[in-house]
Amino acid sequence: MKTYIAHRLGIGVLTLFGMSIVIFLLLRLAPGDIVEALFSAGGYVNPEERVAILRELGLDKPLPAQYAEWMGQVFRGDLGKSYRYDVPAWEVIRPLVPVTLELAILSMVVAVALGVPTGVVSAVRQDTGLDYALRVVSLAGLSMPSFWLGMVIILGLVAWLGWIPPVTYVSPWENFWLHLVQFMLPALAVGYRSSALIMRITRSSVLEVLREDYVRTARAKGQTDRVVIWRHALKNAILPVITVIGIEFAFLIGGLVVTETVFNLPGVARFLVQAILWRDFPIVQNLVLFTAVIVISVNLAVDMLYGVLDPRVRYGS
Amino acid sequence: MRTSRRVAGAAALAAVALVLLAGPALAQKSGGVINVMLREDLSQGFAIHESPTISVVWPASPCLNNLVFFDPAKPVESLDTIVGELAEKWSWQDGYRNLVFFLRKGVKWHDGQPFTSKDVKHTFDVVRAAPDAPAKLRLNPRKDWYANIEAIEAPDPHTVVFRLKRPQPSLLLMLASGYSPVYAAHVNPADYRAKCVGTGPFKLKEWKKGEYVEYVKNPDYFVPGRPYLDGLKYIMIVERGTRTAALQSGQLDVAMPGETSKAAAEQLKNAVPQLVVTPVATSVTDNIIMNAKKPPFDNPKVRLAVSYAIDRRALIAAVHQGAGVPGAAMMPRPYGVWGLAEKDLATLPGYGKPADMKARAKKLLAEVGYGPDKPLRVEMATRAIAIYVDMASFVINELKQVGIEATLKQVETAQWHPMATRGDYQIGANLTGLGVDDPDANFYENYACGSPRNYSLYCNEHVMKLFEQQSVELDPKKRLTMVVNIQKKLEEDAARPILDMRLDYFTHWPHVKGLVPHHNIYNFGRMQNVWRDR
């Protein structure tokens, strides 16, 4: 087990190294740089000033030197200085991380709370009216982009109630209930879409398991439906669902751009887009690297969960 | 004698301004905080001198002061509406060659340091990039505004003299713009990108990047009894729908200048009838830039054909739902004082009967060899933002009707101005904001040979002389006539055909009092007279 984890961590570090090169090169291959963004905001370009700023920001150095400088900073725990804000990048990034993590976790809680039970019920009541209704609801969830749903929620609330959730971040220590309201609505918008996917995977997985011999044996032994479904069938059907949850969570970390924008939440994804538009390399590089760390960690956690949930899964010694 | 009369006049004006600023204090209430809309984060922090965007001027203005400013209570801006801020009075001397400011005494920076004439000299030496300037700005978009300053002297702590190379009455207007605050000499100009040490009515409490800018009242502000409010919070909301919803729900008290379209204002008014909506000019024009250095637009007839082809009034109706006004280079009347009269406009390309105008365009194109059998094919570049693309799409349709087949090329924001400055385009649909409704500021920035903001690369030595002549003219009536003629000439040359000036439906809640939107989005953000009636 330890060897397996060490092996996976080693692969993770290699992946991060590869990612760092890809991020670094892609950013520099894209047309434009911070100086062009600054000048565009200024409405003009002065070639002399351009050269001076490139030098000031170290962007006149060869690419390998720039990359080495960034990696050196990362290893020292220094993320460099934001080109746009002229302050340490960590100072800008630090408050964003908890917001996105909280929104992603809450969204997944909503998705699992809605998706797993409805998937099970849909499988157990296969081809009944309830099954059809739940499948229509899930199909709707898959069809509606979360940002569209978010916008509808905002516009509906303001039209009917003349109220929308707070547009500035409310910390849980300041006002817990308002904080919860602020996060629950976007979590619902995002979680609904994910729940639809989880529901469909759960349904098909449970349907498959319900046809297994050991389920028939359990029923023959006189077990109640509840025990058969929730203890035997679901436990055996949950692995594909966990996989989907892991993938969805990893996707959410970087994929909440529009939801964060619509609900005006100061998270990683919204800020990342702004930083890309400004070619603020220190912010973009480190935020993408952070996202990669989360994705790798979640994948590892999901793989570890397989062994916990299914005793048949054993990792190489 | 004449000078002393001017001093007396200016002093009287300043006294009136102070009375206006101090105002009838009975009705106003002190206290409270208002939440103000911000559409994006501050691109250059509080460094107004390094920025040309309302997204910096609007949220940074409450922290700073100018020498002179446009009277907050008067929506139309002109020389007659300028009032003193850090300057108590001022005087033109030596036939408009020297501009002398007598500074207010006892003013303190937010960090407690005294404000003196050194701060003024420091600021404008840095902005004009004087050879002995104590610092250099990273970006300096308005250096040319101050090109006529020979030297700035600070003979004593409360007097500053701007010595000019030649007379230039416009200097006072440019100094009154929201783009011309005074920085503290003891603070590095670069530091204004992250913090704000000003003399203004509000002190910076916190700038949470990407979220908000928060101010608290400056208890030591030099205008007695001001500001009324305890604080201001500029809340950044990127998504337009959410911004409107936040205003409608009352989470925002005040919109951002230039951000409320006619349709949005109507929607808001329907939902919340008590909201106060004031239609004002934005000082932002829609215009067409054509690269005069490259074929086919190096041919004046082709440029003129484009200008004739575009029906200005149809554009205003279709693209802005009527929320625009036709005009030339300067702000149209009554929003500004230099604009062309209706009778002058009627003679310009694009303002006559649409069918006649299009026939003229076709004739011009035929003269240079283009016609139904040989259409002119061009690439129309524009910024990939809805307000640009909408206008460009309309223009493409108009051009098609005269035989110009244009394909749309959307350019990412970060690339737009660098591309235009390099002249790396054929024809483009563009927006231009005027920091101040002043002929010098506008002509030299947007039409002068060699100006980096002259995207069309139009260069006419005769017109340059006309610019110079109007700039030194001291008689306001004669100068107005000259400015009118220059505008007509620029349109007849299709130097940068102006299509219209957009209107803004500035919106705020009725409990916000004392905030008078100007016909220029850059110059009414000080907030010192604003109060909250609840």
Which chain B residue lies closest to A37 (C-alpha atoms)? B414
- A-B CB pairs within 8 A amount to 139
**pLDDT value, residue B7:** 46
Q: Given CB atoms, is A92 within the 8 Å cutoff of chain B?
A: yes
CA of B90 vs chain A CAs: smallest distance (Å) = 31
> What's the mean pLDDT in A39-51?
78
**pLDDT value, residue A252:** 86
Q: Which one of A264, A265, A268, A281 makes the best mutation probe of the B interface by having the most chain B beta carbons within 10 Å?
A: A264
Longest dimension (CA), chain B: 75
* Chain B residues near residue A166 by CB distance under 8 angstroms: 251
B254 DSSP β-pair partners = B36, B508
**pLDDT value, residue A228:** 93
Tell me the per-residue pLDDT of A178-200, one tens digit each, with 9 for 90 and over.
999 999 999 999 999 999 999 99
Q: CA-CA distance, A120 to A203, in Å (whole number)?
A: 6
H/E stretch holding B186: none
User: Which two three-digit tokens encode residue B14?
Assistant: 């300043």
**pLDDT value, residue B21:** 45
* Chain B residues near residue A256 by CB distance under 8 angstroms: none
**pLDDT value, residue B25:** 47
CA of B495 vs chain A CAs: smallest distance (Å) = 18
**pLDDT value, residue A130:** 96
CA of A141 vs chain B CAs: smallest distance (Å) = 22
* Chain A residues near residue B414 by CB distance under 8 angstroms: 32, 36-37, 40, 277-279
Q: Given CB atoms, is B245 within the 8 Å cutoff of chain A?
A: yes
Spatial contact of B513 and B287, defined as CB atoms under 8 Å apart: no
Nearest CB to B139; choose among A38, A84, A87: A38
- Cis, bond preceding B227 (omega within 30 deg of 0): yes
CA of B142 vs chain A CAs: smallest distance (Å) = 10
Tell me the per-residue pLDDT of B143-202, one tens digit each, with 9 for 90 and over.
989 999 999 999 999 999 999 999 999 999 999 999 999 999 999 999 999 999 999 999
**pLDDT value, residue A316:** 61
Indicate the pTM of the whole model.
Answer: 0.90
A45–B417: do the CB atoms touch at under 8 Å?
yes
**pLDDT value, residue A258:** 86
Which chain A residue lies closest to B412 (C-alpha atoms)? A277
**Which of B 174-233 lie inside 8 A of A, CB atoms?**
190, 193-194, 208-212, 233
Q: Is the pLDDT of residue A315 over 80?
A: no
Q: Which one of A45, A59, A170 makes the best mutation probe of the B interface by having the most chain B beta carbons within 10 Å?
A: A45
Q: Could you please report the per-residue DSSP string of chain A?
A: -HHHHHHHHHHHHHHHHHHHHHHHHHHHHSS--HHHHHHHHHT---HHHHHHHHHHHTTTS-HHHHHHHHHHHHHHT---B-TTT-SBHHHHHTTHHHHHHHHHHHHHHHHHHHHHHHHHHHHHTTTSHHHHHHHHHHHHHHHS-HHHHHHHHHHHHHHHTS----SS---TTT-HHHHHHHHHHHHHHHHHHHHHHHHHHHHHHHHHHHTSHHHHHHHHTT--HHIIIIIIIHHHHHHHHHHHHHHHHHHHHHH-HHHHHHTT---HHHHHHHHHHTT-HHHHHHHHHHHHHHHHHHHHHHHHHHHHH-TT-----
Q: What are the pLDDT tens digits along chain B (534 aa)?
A: 444 444 444 444 444 444 444 444 458 999 999 999 999 899 889 999 998 889 999 999 999 999 999 999 999 999 999 999 999 999 999 999 999 999 999 999 999 999 999 999 999 999 999 999 999 998 888 998 999 999 999 999 999 999 999 999 999 999 999 999 999 999 999 999 999 999 999 999 999 999 999 999 999 999 999 999 999 999 999 999 999 999 999 999 999 999 999 999 999 999 999 999 999 999 999 999 999 999 999 999 999 999 999 999 999 999 999 999 999 999 999 999 999 999 999 999 999 999 999 999 999 999 999 999 999 999 999 998 888 999 999 999 999 999 999 999 999 877 888 888 889 999 999 999 998 999 999 999 999 998 888 999 999 999 999 999 999 999 999 999 999 999 999 999 999 999 999 999 999 999 999 999 999 999 999 999 999 997
Helix (H, G, I), strand (E, B) or coil at B83: strand
* Chain B residues near residue A100 by CB distance under 8 angstroms: none
In order of A68, B99, B120, B473, B505, the CA distances from B92 in angstroms are 58, 5, 17, 14, 37
**Residue type at A104?**
A
Q: Which one of B33, B212, B251, B275 makes the best mutation probe of the A interface by having the most chain A beta carbons within 10 Å?
A: B251
Which chain A residue lies closest to B50 (C-alpha atoms)? A42
- Give the 3-state secondary structure percentages of chain B, helix then strand then coil, rounded to 5: 35, 20, 45
Q: The complex's ipTM?
A: 0.89
Which chain B residue lies closest to A152 (C-alpha atoms)? B241
**What is the sign, positive or negative, of the torsion defined by CA atoms of B42, B54, B280, B261?**
negative
* Chain B residues near residue A93 by CB distance under 8 angstroms: none
Nearest CB to B248; choose among A31, A42, A158: A158
**Which of A 3-42 lie inside 8 A of B, CB atoms?**
31-32, 36-42
**pLDDT value, residue B229:** 98
Tell me the per-residue pLDDT of A154-174, one tens digit each, with 9 for 90 and over.
999 999 999 999 999 999 999
Phi, psi for residue B203 in degrees, rounded to 5: -105, 140
* Chain B residues near residue A271 by CB distance under 8 angstroms: 210
Which chain A residue lies closest to B383 (C-alpha atoms)? A40
**What is the sign, positive or negative, of the torsion defined by CA atoms of A254, A259, A261, A263?**
negative
Q: Given CB atoms, is B238 within the 8 Å cutoff of chain A?
A: yes
**Residue type at A108?**
M
B272–A262: do the CB atoms touch at under 8 Å?
no
The angle at the Cα of A225, spanning A223 to A231, to the nearest 5 degrees, equals 75
**pLDDT value, residue A255:** 80
B237–A167: do the CB atoms touch at under 8 Å?
yes
* Chain A residues near residue B205 by CB distance under 8 angstroms: none
CA of B499 vs chain A CAs: smallest distance (Å) = 20
A85–B193: do the CB atoms touch at under 8 Å?
yes
**Which of A 127-166 lie inside 8 A of B, CB atoms?**
151, 154-155, 157-159, 162-164, 166
Q: Given CB atoms, is B135 within the 8 Å cutoff of chain A?
A: no
State the pLDDT confidence band at A82, using cuts at 50, 70 and 90.
very high
CA of B83 vs chain A CAs: smallest distance (Å) = 28
**pLDDT value, residue A39:** 79
* Chain A residues near residue B51 by CB distance under 8 angstroms: 41-42
